[in-house]
Structure 1
């Protein structure tokens, strides 16, 4: 019986990885399953424009070749493991398939900070809430065309001190998951744009310090926190590898480093996963 169960599971995985035929074409999701905080792409073979929906949000597709459309998908690091419906529509036909999300082991980090950096009150708390609203509004926008070109690059040469997804306990209390990657480097080291895009925010925030956010299109944003200096302004178009600032220790930090994050359609996803996926993404 135990052997039969193993065979059934292998067959199920085999069928999940096959492209789903529809309207004379196919839908393929890669990779499967996705990690929590993972990034993948959906490829559809179709002549006409493709529409989609995943995690109750519209999925913007872009044409990569004749009769080939792609869309990036991401799952938040806190999304429970399971199977989630992906709906695709084109040429008057619809298909629903399921994206599997597997449980991903994240580390644990204990941090001790001065009380005033953790327990926010009064005007400081009001400011932080106001800034969070601004960020939510930014990440809710979806540009209909991709702005990036080719693969994404690491914005800073340094040592990863805190990886993505680490569960943080601050002053003895669980606070949150780490939604980006912390890269330590000498203060003043250059920070590069991970890919082409448009600067959508360049200002100092209370917790995040000097912050740059780049819109890469299709709901994909890269986030750079705690900069010592910022070389770009809101509305600037930047190129992959362009210097956008310097490593610093602004905001709520204990030392100089870059916090680098990625938001995809509102989901907090692993920047390293995006780099790996983009090696075969192309434009």
Structure 2
């Protein structure tokens, strides 16, 4: 027997009983009690107020165009290259000028934008500033504002803790504002950029900056505003629509920043003043000379085969019925050949003593085989042998304008080909109803012949006189 060991059992049993009793009393294990204490500490920490950080105060900003700009703080500068969608921290700068230098960009963009907008007679002497802006029902005083276009602008307001961007943005001229860049704002800015690009592209088509401003700032514009029978007039309008002219309707097609159509002045149009939109088109009388031709009886009889003539006319009408709804020409129109002018445009022609027609083209005599150039860029609408005009080509220059080349000895293009100004499209010949090697050349505007002399060494955008 070992009595001292037996005496320890009652003490151990008592300790276990006390521990069990404690567990029973609190209903938790010692481990769970520790976890509860940690949760309590977290709750206490959350209940303790955390000081709100003071918003960084912006001092000034400048947008250099629709994308690039900077904001200056007391402790540094941030810049954007996407209209304020994202901002990048730069080194500290002591002044706004230093900020612009740090950003590495020059404020040339706004000057270019204002120059373009001046084409639309927009006031570019600084767009109206704003004194306050409303955002989500709250009105903020404005420290500084800047509009790059009449629609797109930014404002610097006192920042709050939940501000998303250093600047507020408007894309509707200040009617509404957003904090940061939204999808709708991004779309609006892209649309404004596209409009500015259209202005720039179209302005380059006119003779000079003054001519571009005069044309693009007007509601309606005629090129030219005086014409004669056999001519063609280019019309520009600021809005889509149509023009009723000589019992026909001409649809204004969009191009760059305006809407355009050609108005052909047929030989039957009487002299007088005609209203076109808010403009007046003056038609002056013009006298054309008379030409007398003698041909063989066999050649004269060609014009009696109306069946073949009508069949060809259907082909021609079909080819000229579809024109690309844009201006395809690039630069001034050129003469297809440097031949001898044997028949000017508009001559009244008699064949073997009998009235034949008005010759609505130029006849340019040249040696057979002389290369013929495309007068300007376009798409070949027809290139094949025809009964009266022989080997013939029609080129679509867009907006209903076609050039015609007839009596060729050889065709070098086919329908559907895209040609550039000066491309060789065929050779001079004497096929069809022809008395000798020459090129019969003219223009057609909406299926009415137009005087080629209007086009040479210029474009319709420069028809100002």
Q: Please give the TM-score of this superposition, normalised by the length of structure 2.
A: 0.50
Q: In the alignment, what sits opposite 1:202? A: 383
Q: In the alignment, what sits opposite 1:254? A: 435
2:346 matches 1:165: yes
Aligned residues of 1:220 and 1:264 also touching (Cα < 8 A): yes
Match of 1:222 among 375, 399, 403: 403
How is 1:59-138 mapped onto 2 (pairs within 5 angstroms)? 59-64=251-256, 66=257, 68-86=258-276, 95=277, 97-120=279-302, 124-138=305-319
**278 and 235 in structure 1: CA distance in 2 versus 1, 3 angstrom threshold:** same
1:247, CA displacement in angstroms? Answer: 0.5
1:244, CA displacement in angstroms? Answer: 0.1
2:239 matches 1:57: no
Deviations 1:180-221 (A, max 9, x none): 101111111110001111111111111100001101111100
Aligned residues of 2:222 and 2:279 also touching (Cα < 8 A): no
1:121, CA displacement in angstroms? Answer: 7.5
**116 and 60 in structure 1: CA distance in 2 versus 1, 3 angstrom threshold:** farther
Aligned residues of 1:52 and 1:61 also touching (Cα < 8 A): no
2:415 matches 1:234: yes
| Alpha-carbon distance in 2 for matches of 1:141, 1:260 | 20
2:358 matches 1:177: yes
2:462 matches 1:274: no
Gaps of 5+ in 2: 1-216
| Alpha-carbon distance in 2 for matches of 1:183, 1:228 | 14
1:42, CA displacement in angstroms? Answer: 1.8
How is 1:7-18 mapped onto 2 (pairs within 5 angstroms)? none
1:76, CA displacement in angstroms? Answer: 1.9
Count of aligned pairs = 247
1:252, CA displacement in angstroms? Answer: 0.7
| Alpha-carbon distance in 1 for matches of 2:383, 2:377 | 16
The higher relative CO (CA closer than 8 Å, separation ≥ 6) is in 1
| Alpha-carbon distance in 1 for matches of 2:439, 2:303 | 26
Q: In the alignment, what sits opposite 1:16? A: none
Q: Please give the TM-score of this superposition, normalised by the length of structure 1.
A: 0.79
2:341 matches 1:139: no
**231 and 121 in structure 1: CA distance in 2 versus 1, 3 angstrom threshold:** closer
Q: Who wins on radius of gyration, i.e. which is larger?
A: 2
| Alpha-carbon distance in 1 for matches of 2:268, 2:443 | 15
| Alpha-carbon distance in 2 for matches of 1:142, 1:60 | 14
Superposition RMSD on alpha carbons, in Å? 2.4
Helix, strand or coil at the partner of 1:58: strand
The structure with the largest helix share of the pair is: 2
Deviations 1:33-77 (A, max 9, x none): 201111222233x3x54543433131333424x4x4443332123
1:172, CA displacement in angstroms? Answer: 0.8
Helix, strand or coil at the partner of 1:214: strand
Aligned residues of 2:225 and 2:280 also touching (Cα < 8 A): no
Q: In the alignment, what sits opposite 1:30? A: 223
1:174, CA displacement in angstroms? Answer: 0.9
| Alpha-carbon distance in 1 for matches of 2:293, 2:344 | 14
The structure with the largest strand share of the pair is: 1
Aligned residues of 1:150 and 1:281 also touching (Cα < 8 A): no
Gaps of 5+ in 1: 1-23, 87-94
